Amino acid sequence: MGGTRGGGWSDEPASNLLDSEAPYYDTYSLGMFLADLDADVIKVEAPPRGDYLRYFLGQLEPGYSVPHLQVNKNKRSIALDVRADAGREVFWRLLDGAESFLDG
């Protein structure tokens, strides 16, 4: 799945993708698809509540709704306040180690 430098293809999955996709089903699907293919997708959410889908249409348990679990399965997540210096520093470190950045 993952590309290699020089335009060739590798059988290895992408190892690290940073995901800050907007909370709409059409943009969530790329990160979900790549996570399903074993890419390490890290979902960046804004504190304190995170992605609004966590609370959409009721919750199975606090912070976990069916729509949220559906589109964020196989992803890791982190809450970062990128307006604060500390949050921006963590974001830039994550971005520096990512092969791709999904933003939508």
User: pLDDT value at position 7?
Assistant: 47
E strand segments, 1-104: 17-20, 41-45, 75-79, 100-103
Single-letter amino acid code for the residue at 35: A
Name the band, by pLDDT with cuts 50, 70 and 90, for residue 92.
very high
DSSP 13: P
Average pLDDT over residues 52-73: 89
Query: What's the predicted TM-score (pTM) here?
Result: 0.72
CB of 19 closer than 8 Å to CB of 42? yes
pLDDT mean across residues, the chain: 80
The total number of residues written for the chain in this structure: 104
Distance CA 63, CA 1 (A): 31
Among 104, 30, 15, CA closest to 72: 30
User: pLDDT value at position 10?
Assistant: 53
Name the band, by pLDDT with cuts 50, 70 and 90, for residue 6.
very low
